């Protein structure tokens, strides 16, 4: 258990913010698998300030997701402050997070995301200005630096702390690395040693054992899991259990995986309507099906599905075939 400001996080496992993934439908599903904290996908400060309807829809939170951190991104102090104020007053998020890690040129070219990492003074300035006008705790998610020559993770985290930020999450890669190479946990450890606010470590936690190793090697307060949770929300449950009891519970059966996938699909339909949800769910379905025998052959068909019933029928077919195969294997033994 740890605290971010006055928000109690009941265990040390955090779902990473992921654009195009971490909407209410996925977050709630992950929450039900026991995440201590879930993070929402990044939302544009300008979209909020200019009342863009699509952006405002992204601020929807189901009470059952709480505690939840809502992340905003932007490259200018003025609009970030305005957007933070809006999130503070008009959403039921518990925490306001500032994105200082996004490596995509479209974002960094506007001085947003990882571009902040080049100047601890600017970080201090913007975080202090936001902290000043909101009541919810403010946090920053950052990468360790821009490139090998500009790794200011410690200075940047200290700037967040001095400015009144209540936690930092550190992804152990530079902006230039994008998602390549290995996350540098040693720098995450240096950050943890340099600040008194909670530090959440992130990058390359692929198994419950990785989570334990990160906690032990870096001393961080929490571990943030991103890609390993895609189509795999039970990764969170397995990690929570492993950290608490040392027990490594088995992966779910194909049928259980498909059941969770269908629950996720129905929640996405409730959130966005069938047409958009089914399209968005195609990529998730491919992730849920990873490792299930016989799934590869329906991948193309999934990408052509347009309705809930078509998609559900394909998924259930895979589950049934996998079950029949497992029964045949058991009989043969």
> Does residue 187 bind ligand FMN (CB under 6 A)?
no
Task: Considering only the stretches 14-22, 117-125, 257-265, 303-311, report the one whose residues sit in contact with ligand FMN under the rule CB under 6 A.
Answer: 14-22
Catalytic residue (one of 22, 39, 102, 305): 102
Among 11, 24, 55, 71, binds ligand FMN (CB under 6 A): 71
Q: Within a 13 Å sphere around the CA of 285, how many CA atoms are in the beta-carbon half?
A: 30
Q: Judging by DSSP bridges, how do beta strands 2-4 and 95-100 pair with one another?
A: unpaired
Tokens of 212: 């334990």
Smallest separation (angstroms) from ligand FMN to the CB of 73 = 7
Tokens of 225: 């899991």
> Does residue 238 bind ligand FMN (CB under 6 A)?
no
> Does residue 204 bind ligand FMN (CB under 6 A)?
yes
Cis amide linkage into residue 110, ω under 30° from 0: no
> Does residue 55 bind ligand FMN (CB under 6 A)?
no
Helix runs in the chain, H state only: 24-32, 45-49, 53-57, 77-90, 105-108, 120-133, 153-162, 185-194, 208-218, 234-245, 254-272, 274-289, 299-302, 308-332
**Residue 202: which of 163, 229, 231, 165 has the closest Cα?**
229
> Does residue 18 bind ligand FMN (CB under 6 A)?
yes
Would you call 102 a catalytic residue per the annotation? yes
Tokens of 177: 């690395």
Task: Considering only the stretches 60-68, 197-205, 242-250, 309-317, report the one whose residues sit in contact with ligand FMN under the rule CB under 6 A.
Answer: 197-205
> Does residue 99 bind ligand FMN (CB under 6 A)?
yes
Task: Considering only the stretches 154-162, 223-231, 295-303, 309-317, report the one whose residues sit in contact with ligand FMN under the rule CB under 6 A.
Answer: 223-231
102 DSSP assignment: -
> Does residue 211 bind ligand FMN (CB under 6 A)?
no
Smallest separation (angstroms) from ligand FMN to the CB of 143 = 8
Contact residues toward ligand FMN (CB under 6 A) are: 16-21, 41-42, 71, 99, 101-102, 141, 171, 202-205, 225-228
């Amino acid at each position: 258990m740890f605290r971010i400001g006055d928000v109690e996080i009941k265990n040390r496992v955090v779902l990473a913010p992921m654009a195009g993934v971490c909407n209410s439908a996925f977050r709630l599903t992950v929450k039900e698998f026991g995440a201590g904290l879930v993070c929402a996908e990044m939302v544009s400060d300008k979209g909020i300030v200019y009342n863009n309807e699509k952006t405002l829809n992204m601020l929807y939170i189901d009470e059952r997701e709480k505690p939840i951190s809502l992340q905003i991104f932007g490259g200018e102090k003025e609009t970030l402050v305005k957007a933070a104020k809006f999130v503070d007053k008009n959403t039921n998020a518990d925490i306001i997070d500032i994105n200082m890690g996004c490596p995509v040129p479209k974002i960094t070219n506007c001085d947003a995301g990882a571009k902040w990492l080049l100047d601890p003074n600017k970080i201090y300035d913007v975080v202090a200005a936001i902290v000043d006008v909101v009541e919810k705790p403010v946090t920053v998610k950052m990468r360790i630096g821009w490139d090998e020559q500009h790794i200011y993770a410690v200075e940047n985290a200290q700037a967040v702390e001095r400015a009144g930020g209540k936690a930092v999450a550190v992804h152990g890669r530079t902006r230039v690395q994008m998602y390549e190479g290995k996350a540098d946990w040693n720098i995450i450890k240096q950050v943890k040693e340099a600040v008194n606010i909670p530090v959440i470590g992130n990058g390359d936690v692929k198994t419950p054992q990785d989570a334990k190793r990160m906690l032990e090697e870096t001393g961080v307060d929490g571990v943030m899991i991103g890609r390993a949770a895609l189509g795999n929300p039970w990764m969170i449950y397995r990690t929570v259990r492993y950290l608490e009891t040392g027990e490594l519970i088995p992966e779910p059966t194909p049928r259980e995986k498909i059941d969770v996938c269908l629950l996720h699909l129905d929640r996405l339909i409730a959130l966005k309507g069938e047409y958009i949800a089914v399209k968005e769910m195609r990529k998730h379905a491919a992730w849920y099906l990873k490792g299930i025998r016989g799934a590869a052959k329906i991948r193309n068909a999934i990408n052509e599905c347009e309705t809930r019933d078509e998609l559900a029928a394909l998924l259930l077919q895979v589950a049934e075939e996998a079950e029949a195969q497992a029964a045949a294997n058991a009989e043969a033994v």
